């Protein structure tokens, strides 16, 4: 076995889509509790686009190779063996890493691996870890969701919101709302995912629509990826004692003049930011366990859907990033590796 592997590299370390190419890099070495996984498929996430452009800080010690979620087979185990799950060479798995998934091989903690169910494809499994764990974290750990609460998911056709809408419905939210910037995606949120209602944030005043739909109460939880551009509307739409969880800045980071923050006192609401990749393995591992206990049985029997919009061979990684940047997808973009 050689000491090198193929991986997606970025010419110059950062740059536009055209800088992406497949090159040869050193194969990762294992520490005690890690497994070396031969990657079959990997999922794309918006952080990958930011990292490619040099705008996303990689956690200390993480691989500089793009990608955090993958599926594949265990090729080798570290000196501590298969961990509490008893993994062994040849096991089919999927998992979450701090980086390195756009490659033939990835070194990852055995605690962050999940056994691949026979009912799911490699491509579906590669689209689960980052998105479903992020949705779980935002809903339960950060926003303290409980049955009977109402919730709104922005970017309804994003993979995190697709997961979150399904989780909210399964766990008895009183109402599940969504926003998107295209009518087609709003229709998708309601008709395919089962959201109570969805509003076009380009053509409608979605905050006013939310207040009408809730008889002036607002929503208990808002999961936001936009940042500055939705800040005021989030405060207008949140209910008393509600929580706004911010996970991204697609709408910028600088607030315009005239923003009214009185809702923080009038409504006693909370605005909290969070991320997943910067968390330590213990924190991520608990979420991984919650995913296995709470969501995996529903993946197996079909109650939860992993919606894959497009599957491309990794040789077309530039096309895959272009799809993400165009914001036209409904669900995951997955790349496969033929070895």
3-state secondary structure 137-156: HHHHHHCCCCCCCEEEECCC
3-state secondary structure of 267: coil
Q: What is the pLDDT of residue 83?
A: 77
Contact 173, 139 (CB under 8 A): no
293: which DSSP letter?
A: I
Distances (CA, A) of 155 to 66, 147, 223, 251, 331: 23, 23, 9, 11, 11
Rounded CA separation 62/65 (Å): 9
- The full set of domains in the chain, from first to last, is 4-128+279-336 (3.90.180.10), 132-273 (3.40.50.720)
Six-digit token string for 106? 């990835």
Contact 22, 9 (CB under 8 A): yes
Rounded CA separation 67/100 (Å): 5
Q: What is the pLDDT of residue 287?
A: 94
CB-facing half-sphere around the CA of 281: CA atoms within 13 A: 14
Encode the chain (339 residues) as per-residue pLDDT tens digits.
Answer: 689 999 999 999 999 999 999 999 999 999 888 999 999 999 999 999 999 999 988 998 899 999 999 999 999 999 887 777 899 999 999 999 999 999 999 999 999 999 999 999 999 999 999 999 999 999 999 999 999 999 999 999 999 999 999 999 999 999 999 999 999 999 999 999 999 999 999 999 999 999 999 999 999 999 999 999 999 999 999 999 999 999 999 999 999 999 999 999 999 999 999 999 999 899 999 999 999 999 999 999 999 999 999 999 999 999 999 999 998 899 999 999 997
Rounded CA separation 36/226 (Å): 36
Q: What is the pLDDT of residue 1?
A: 60
């Amino acid at each position: 076995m050689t000491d090198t592997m193929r991986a997606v590299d970025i010419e110059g370390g950062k740059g536009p889509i055209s800088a992406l190419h497949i090159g040869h890099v050193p194969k990762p070495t294992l520490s005690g509790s890690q497994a070396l996984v031969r990657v079959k498929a990997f999922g794309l996430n918006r952080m990958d686009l930011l990292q490619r452009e040099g705008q996303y800080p990689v956690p200390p010690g993480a691989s500089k190779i793009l990608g955090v979620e993958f599926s594949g087979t265990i090729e080798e185990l570290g000196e501590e063996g298969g961990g509490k799950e008893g993994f062994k060479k040849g096991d089919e798995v999927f998992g979450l890493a701090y980086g390195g998934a756009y490659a033939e091989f990835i070194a990852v903690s055995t605690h962050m691996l999940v056994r691949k169910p026979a009912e799911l494809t490699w491509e579906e499994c590669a689209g689960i870890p980052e998105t479903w764990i992020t949705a779980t974290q935002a809903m339960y750990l950060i926003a303290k969701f409980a049955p009977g609460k109402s919730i709104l998911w922005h970017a309804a056709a994003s993979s995190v919101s697709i997961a979150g809408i399904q989780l909210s419905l399964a766990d008895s939210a009183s109402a599940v709302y969504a926003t998107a910037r295209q009518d087609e995606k709003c229709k998708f949120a309601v008709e395919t995912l089962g959201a109570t209602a969805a509003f076009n944030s380009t053509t409608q005043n979605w905050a006013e629509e939310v207040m009408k739909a809730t008889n002036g109460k607002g929503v208990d939880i808002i999961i936001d990826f936009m940042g500055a551009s939705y800040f005021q509307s989030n405060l207008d739409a949140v209910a008393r004692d509600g929580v706004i969880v911010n996970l991204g800045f697609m709408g910028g980071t600088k607030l315009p003049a005239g923003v009214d923050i009185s809702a923080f006192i009038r409504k006693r609401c909370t605005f909290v930011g969070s991320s997943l990749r910067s968390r330590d393995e213990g924190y991520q591992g608990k979420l991984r366990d919650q995913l296995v206990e709470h969501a995996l049985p529903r993946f197996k029997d079909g109650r939860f859907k992993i919606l894959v919009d497009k599957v491309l061979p990794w040789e077309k990684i530039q096309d895959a990033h272009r799809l993400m940047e165009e914001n036209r997808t409904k669900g995951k973009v997955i790349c496969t590796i033929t070895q």
